[in-house]
Amino acid sequence: MSKLTLQNSFINTIPEAIISKKSIRVDVLRLDVLHPVVSGNKWFKLKKYLAEAKKLTKKVVVTFGGAFSNHIIATAAAANYYGVKSIGIIRGEEGRTPSPTLQQAAHFGMKLFYISREDYALKKLPAPFFEHYCRDDSYLINAGGYGVPGAVGATSILSECQSGNYTHICAAVGTGTTLAGLINGVQPHQKVIGINVLKNNFSIEAEIAALLSACNRNYCIHYDYHFGGYAKYTGELIQFMNTWYQQTGIPSDFVYTGKLFYAMHHLIYNDYFPAGSNVLIIHSGGLQGNASLPGGTLIF
């Protein structure tokens, strides 16, 4: 069973030529470098859940995800780190060869159960679960880590750098938990920008609002950069990700951060940020999910 060691995050400043000399500064907080597979925001979101499961002396944490889920692998690693057993309920049939994500999750000691898409939609615990545990033994973590403890954990992303210096803090939005954590943590002079990666995700603003602690509502979500929907992509997105990597040395994933960087590049190009802005983009990781793409799609 692997044991987790984490590297330190760092900041990359994007060269002026790439952002079209717009008299703004653009930095990227590299949370993707924390760990080769357990990267990014998921680690921050999970901390409070694991601490709570431990405090309540739960026997096992249970969560849900797909075969390439960043959340599944991060939960496996975080549970391992905190010395708590973990179970992953996986959407769909068990494949002949498990995905690299699920293999890594198993290395961290996670037990995997496969359930049908219908049962998954109902978040049904499978019968074999009850052969070992009763419901009260388990600590359930929502798919994607959505919830107040997740947002509290995500606020600590801001302590990874001198975040008070920035005018804008930008991140990809899935469940919105990370964005809510950032909104809760920023100062009044700062604005949080979210790039939504799902299509027709109309309930997201209410879901984020449910996680906000104070009256700081200084945020804005952009909906036009989903490229067809969650985990969908186009040739244009892949091309952008490859060029962005060539120009900046920053790899991205096609589900979240590729869309985030594309959106940022587009917004900057269209003078969205006033001159003098000091922009921080959160690289929330997720690179392990690129393993689901056909070989050779990406140059990194």
Ligand X SMILES: *Cc1c(COP(=O)(O)O)cnc(C)c1O
Q: Which is nearer to ligand X, 104 or 129 (CB)?
A: 104
- The DSSP annotation for 1-22 comes to ------PPPEEEEPPGGGGTT-
Stretch that binds ligand X, among 135-143, 168-176, 225-233, 266-274 (CB under 6 A): 168-176
Q: Which is nearer to ligand X, 59 or 156 (CB)?
A: 156
CB-based contacts of 295, cutoff 8 Å, min separation 6: none
Give, as ranges, the residues between 14 and 33 that touch ligand X (CB under 6 A).
none
Q: Is 178 in the site for ligand X (CB under 6 A)?
A: yes
Q: Is 176 in the site for ligand X (CB under 6 A)?
A: yes
CA distances from residue 164 to 80, 119, 186, 279 in whole angstroms, order as listed: 33, 44, 7, 11
Stretch that binds ligand X, among 58-66, 127-135, 249-257, 265-273 (CB under 6 A): 249-257
Q: Is 172 in the site for ligand X (CB under 6 A)?
A: yes
Task: Give the phi and the psi of residue 98 in degrees, each rounded to 5.
Answer: -65, 150
- Cβ burial, residue 213 (10 Å; 0-12/13-18/19+): middle
Which of 63, 99, 257, 288 is close enough to bind ligand X by CB under 6 A? 257
Q: Is 288 in the site for ligand X (CB under 6 A)?
A: no
Q: Is 256 in the site for ligand X (CB under 6 A)?
A: yes
Q: Which is nearer to ligand X, 24 or 186 (CB)?
A: 186
- The DSSP annotation for 235-262 comes to HHHHHHHHHHHHHH-----TTTHHHHHH
Give, as ranges, the residues between 67 and 96 that touch ligand X (CB under 6 A).
70
Q: Which is nearer to ligand X, 58 or 283 (CB)?
A: 283
Q: Is 258 in the site for ligand X (CB under 6 A)?
A: no
Q: Is 42 in the site for ligand X (CB under 6 A)?
A: yes
Residue nearest to ligand X (CB): 286
Q: Is 155 in the site for ligand X (CB under 6 A)?
A: no
DSSP 214: S
Contact 267, 14 (CB under 8 A): no
Look at strands 85-91 and 278-283 and give their pairing: unpaired
Least Cβ distance, residue 3 to ligand X (angstroms): 22
Which of 63, 86, 99, 284 is close enough to bind ligand X by CB under 6 A? 284
Q: Is 251 in the site for ligand X (CB under 6 A)?
A: no
Kindly report the CA angle at 256 between 254 and 262, in degrees rounded to 5?
75
Least Cβ distance, residue 11 to ligand X (angstroms): 18
Q: Is 40 in the site for ligand X (CB under 6 A)?
A: yes
**CA–CA gap between residue 164 and residue 150 (Å, rounded):** 21
Kindly report the CA angle at 40 between 280 and 219, in degrees rounded to 5?
40
Chain centroid, CA 258 distance in Å: 12
Q: Which residues bind ligand X (CB under 6 A)?
A: 40-42, 70, 144, 172-179, 253, 256-257, 284-286
